[in-house]
Structure 1
Amino acid sequence: MEFKTSKIFKTKKSFRQKEINIPLFANIARKLKEMSEEKLMDNDLLFTLTYMASLSTANLSRDKIFELVAEKKEYSPSKYFKQIRDLTQNWHYDYATACELIAEKVKHKRLKELLNRFSNAIASGEPDEEFIEREWRTFKTVRKDEYQRSLESLRKWTDAYVSILVSTTLISVVILLSIVIYSVSDPLSMILTAIFSSLAFSLFGVFMLYKATPKDAKTHNMPIKSKEQTTISRLQVLLLPIFLAALLVFSILPAVFNPEMEILGIDAKGIGLIISGFVLLPLGIIGYRDDKKISKRDEAFTSVIRGLGATISGAGVGMAEALSRLDKKNLGELKDLVMPLHKRLSLGLDPKISWDKFTGESGSYLISKLTPIFIDATDMGGDANLVGEIVGSSNLEMVLLRLKRDLISNGFINLVIPLHVSMVGLILFITKILEKFTSLISKMFESQLSTFGSASDIMSKTGLAGMNFGLFSAVPVGLFEMYALFVSLILILSNALSMKIVKGSANYMMYFYISILMILSGIIFIFVPIGVDWAFSFPSLAEAG
């Protein structure tokens, strides 16, 4: 009986744990998914309205438009349109009531207002085409104004981040000097406190930049990628472990266990940073090239899609023939993608697969979202010329806003990189001076000790009784090296994150920024100690030692 009771108790407990843990993880996953959808909801809402405006040129029924929008799962609002359609088809609600009911469940403010206005328009008998076109134009204006306000906020926070960066560095230096001057009993804990304080302040600045930036992706998440993105995916599997190993072996471990370690007479930590930076540099260069190409493709897409729509509508030809009639000079960066697309369509290959390959190889978020709109609307009988204008207008709006963002981000990047060099140089300069003075005072004290016999004799016979000979001597020299390296790594991480966030680039641009900052930091770690040794050389004290 005791065995059965124990077994039943454990079984109930395990079921209770499962009942608690499963909903917990499910709620966390659901929250993360909702946050991801919410981040790009405004963009998806623009694409949804563009899609509906394009479909309305085909004079489709309201039911058909809602059906097609509900099937566009790549747009976050599609799930709400699916719920509206389910209410009308399965529960026989009218569309006005269904839109109103679903609007009550929507948390996103603009989508809720859109559904409520749609409900009122349907109830009042307003034609869907007029309502959708008006909402599309209105939302573009609102989105543009909101984006520009976000850019103004971003401009102010970039200035604030620079101030935080400088203040964090100076506060860290003050803490380091305080540890030395006041002979703290536990210098290691104070050094670690200074390091974590620098990390906290830096990440706070990065977080505020993230909150201020307009939420706008630049690369898609399709299985098919651009050539550069595919190359990065393959190379990073090999290069990232090498990067981490080089950083750990040549920089972090020497800073912790052997601060004076040298390779060919050069500081090992500097060599480790340079090696790590050069390991990541190929990924960074490839990512930088891809980022530039995507920007050029987005700019060229507007003229290409408008020209394609005008050719189909004006000449009355099919998609493949219209592609062949496009002026090759106006294709720009899309030329290498449009020509293979024309060949695939001319050979009679599956149009969906052909267009998916085109959008995937473009690597562009905008092209991947807007191209299916043009294809679906023209396939459903929409006016290709009007559809091309609608899609091109939405694309041009986003491209122009990104160009304004680039003005801010380029200025910020051009400021942060030299500022990073200055801050790392300052930290290393201060730590090397403290190391130098620690060494010189120790040598001076040892020489006097050999002359007078004891510390008390030195104080009494030289009149130095009021001096604090514990100054500089309470902190091990190795802590200075560890402090300089870890604060430099924190600055590298935070500055790379800040540049990536402000620029609005893909994650692989982190490789470019980190590699540049690491190489520059490594050069500083090599040459600043040499400069300090040259500037603070005291032959008399050296001879006394």
Structure 2
Amino acid sequence: MATQQEQSGDRLDTLLSFIAELLASYDQLEMSRRRYLLTILLPAFGFFVLTIVGTVLLTVPLLVRLPLPLLGLLIVAAAVVYPKIYISQRRIQIENQFHLVMTHMTVLSMTNIDRMEVFRTLAREEEYGVLAEEIGHVVHLVDTWNQSLDDACRRRAKEVPSKALADFFERLGYILGAGQEMKDFLVNEQDIMMEQYSTVYEGALSNIEVMKDLYMSMILSMTFALVFAIVLPILSGINPTLTVVGVIVMFMFVQLGFFFVIRTMAPYDPVWYFPEARFVENRKLWGSLAFGGVGSMLLVFYMGFGFLGVGPGVDGLFFFLDEVPLPVYIAFPVAPLLVTGIVLRNEEQTIHKRDDQFPNFIRSLGSAENAKQATTSAVLETLREKDFGELSPNINRLYRRLKMRLDPDQAWGEFSIESRSYLIQKFSEMFLVGRQMGGNTKLLGEIISANMNKVNQLRTQRKQATTTLIGLLYGITAAATFAFFIGLEVVNILADFSTTLEVSQFNIGQIIHPGQYNIPLIEYLLLLVILFNAALSAVMIRTIDGGNKATAYIHFVMLTWLGCLVAIFTREVVSVILAI
């Protein structure tokens, strides 16, 4: 009894804490509470009322009307909790960039520039997003309101949404007020900063694991609902097309909702570096994209002309079949995209290999430069003879550019572009800036190497989480498609069976109602579900993996073909079994 009371008390405390945080988040928005109420909450509530009225007045089946008020309620709930979601998103954006900004700040503090110039430099980095804005607020307090840097840090610590950043500002303000050098503090804080980042990163991966289980439960529930929507109308006599469309819409809403939640939870850790001005130079990648896109479009036109009677169409390609199954028309045109996915996936794996070698390279370069007191080109002359795997060709080209007296900024920029790695680009830029401004290259190399090694370790955990997700999504796709087409084939056989019986003799028309079924249309709708599921699942995999979205073409094609092959297999097997 006491345990139940304690659990009830914990739930009440959690609820009250959530409400308090939600109300506090309204004050942190960029608009007043009154304006938010008038422009967001009231229209959302009005839409909810309209959905209730529509549910009462519409004459379509209840299964189709039922999602309307649920949609209105969802919009009201989203409008109510949006401020908290907004603040949480800002916190997540801060924590995703925290390790890069802190490493960048440490590198700048080791140079010969003023500590306020360190903050101004980071505040101008638009790539750091919300974190650059928060640093900009500190700069604003110092430059506009003439506060000291330590007071500005402590004051801003009370308003930032991220606990990690608030703790950092508090500690930094304290040591600056005590007279300690910012450089010494930041160097000593590196381990703490990376541990905080690791905790956030691993926490996000744990949350995704929980969401995967919930996602599987919801999708299986919606699968059963869709099977019932296919089968039950043959007994009840309601319009099956409307019920199937209604459940499919709910199915897609559930998938989209989970996708957006997972996208919000996934750590921000991009793999690729593609400056827009130089993207056109990647002929291999552009060629693969063109091959996949143009190839798919040509197949679509080829099939379309076949439908119109111009040319053989798909029937000419599958001449050995008496009848081409409808799923082939969905799966066949997407096949060329597999080439695009494979080419980009191979390049992405090469980028990961370069990332694994870069910490060893930058640590060796920094140590050698500091020991020999020599230029980068002189150190690279011997360093390039070592085996750095996939990074070795890039190091050789960097050496040749520096040996030709090319500007170091341009030479390192080309090195980053050729590596195509986001982390290599960021850390190379930090090392170059720190070196040019008089920083200790040995210490710079050790800090950058340690931090990048930590990120690579976290990426290994992320890869494991992605692998389990891939297995889950492929399994769900096969199971859901199997269930869909079992239901469809059962209805199809019952409809054919009813036509062979004399209704006047058996009075079967009062039991089975096959007349309203449009089997080809329902099959087409189910294939659209397979296509939508394949596209969303592929993007979801890439969202959690952190890779380039174009590599999702591999899973998109394979999931589409898996669903279509299972559909064909299911219909053939069920028709044979039930016909016995």
Flag whether TM exceeds 0.5 (same fold).
yes
- Aligned residue for 2:15? none
Change (3 A) 1:428 1:503: same
- Structure 2 distance, partners of 1:534, 1:74, is 60
Is 1:177 matched up with 2:177?
no
**Which has the higher mean CA deviation after the structures are superposed, 44-53 or 469-478?**
469-478
Q: Identify the match of residue 354 of structure 2 among 279, 294, 297.
A: 297
- Structure 2 distance, partners of 1:104, 1:224, is 41
Classify the secondary structure of the residue corresponding to 2:483.
helix
Change (3 A) 1:353 1:536: same
Query: 1:206 is matched by which residue type in structure 2?
Result: F
- Structure 2 distance, partners of 1:246, 1:35, is 45
- Structure 2 distance, partners of 1:306, 1:227, is 32
- Structure 2 distance, partners of 1:421, 1:49, is 45
Change (3 A) 1:500 1:393: same
**Which has the higher mean CA deviation after the structures are superposed, 417-426 or 224-233?**
224-233
- Aligned residue for 2:250? 197
Change (3 A) 1:360 1:466: closer
Higher RCO, Cα 8 Å, sep 6+: 1
Change (3 A) 1:250 1:435: farther
By how many angstroms is 1:192 displaced? 0.8
By how many angstroms is 1:158 displaced? 1.8
Classify the secondary structure of the residue corresponding to 2:276.
coil
- Aligned residue for 2:577? 535
- Structure 1 distance, partners of 2:242, 2:301, is 22
Classify the secondary structure of the residue corresponding to 2:510.
coil
By how many angstroms is 1:275 displaced? 2.1
- Aligned residue for 1:372? 429
- Aligned residue for 1:54? 107
Change (3 A) 1:225 1:326: farther
Q: Identify the match of residue 387 of structure 2 among 330, 346, 368.
A: 330
Stretches of structure 1 that go unaligned for 5 or more consecutive residues are: 1-23, 25-31, 255-260, 449-454, 459-463, 539-545
By how many angstroms is 1:302 displaced? 1.0
1:106-160 deviation digits (Å, cap 9, x = unpaired): 4444334433432332222222122222333322111112222222222222222
- Structure 2 distance, partners of 1:73, 1:110, is 21
Change (3 A) 1:532 1:90: closer
- Structure 1 distance, partners of 2:291, 2:86, is 30
Q: Identify the match of residue 528 of structure 2 among 486, 491, 497.
A: 486
Query: 2:341 is matched by which residue type in structure 1?
Result: G
Pairing 1:89-488 to 2, within 5 Å after superposition? 92-100=146-154, 106-184=160-238, 186-223=239-276, 231-233=284-286, 235-236=288-289, 239-240=292-293, 243=296, 246=299, 264=319, 265-267=322-324, 269-326=326-383, 328-442=385-499, 444-445=500-501, 448=502, 455-456=503-504, 458=505, 464-465=506-507, 468-488=510-530
Q: Identify the match of residue 45 of structure 1 among 98, 121, 139.
A: 98
By how many angstroms is 1:199 displaced? 0.9
Q: Identify the match of residue 538 of structure 2 among 496, 518, 526.
A: 496
Is 1:508 matched up with 2:550?
yes
Change (3 A) 1:484 1:75: closer
Greater CA radius of gyration, 1 or 2?
A: 1
- Structure 2 distance, partners of 1:532, 1:120, is 73
Change (3 A) 1:211 1:48: closer
**Which has the higher mean CA deviation after the structures are superposed, 141-150 or 374-383?**
141-150
- Structure 2 distance, partners of 1:228, 1:181, is 62
CA contact (8 A) 2:291 2:340 kept: no
Change (3 A) 1:466 1:224: closer
TM normalised by structure 2 equals: 0.75
Query: 1:345 is matched by which residue type in structure 2?
Result: L
By how many angstroms is 1:81 displaced? 3.9
Classify the secondary structure of the residue corresponding to 2:105.
helix
By how many angstroms is 1:235 displaced? 4.6
- Aligned residue for 2:18? none
By how many angstroms is 1:86 displaced? 5.8
By how many angstroms is 1:327 displaced? 5.3
CA contact (8 A) 1:191 1:479 kept: no
CA contact (8 A) 2:482 2:566 kept: yes
- Structure 1 distance, partners of 2:458, 2:162, is 23
Change (3 A) 1:102 1:167: same
- Structure 1 distance, partners of 2:258, 2:452, is 32
Stretches of structure 2 that go unaligned for 5 or more consecutive residues are: 1-38, 40-84, 308-313
1:506-525 deviation digits (Å, cap 9, x = unpaired): 21122121111122233334
CA contact (8 A) 2:223 2:480 kept: yes
1:446-465 deviation digits (Å, cap 9, x = unpaired): xx4xxxxxx44x2xxxxx34
- Structure 2 distance, partners of 1:426, 1:191, is 14
Report the identity percentage: 20
**Which has the higher mean CA deviation after the structures are superposed, 42-51 or 336-345?**
42-51
Classify the secondary structure of the residue corresponding to 2:336.
helix
By how many angstroms is 1:317 displaced? 1.6
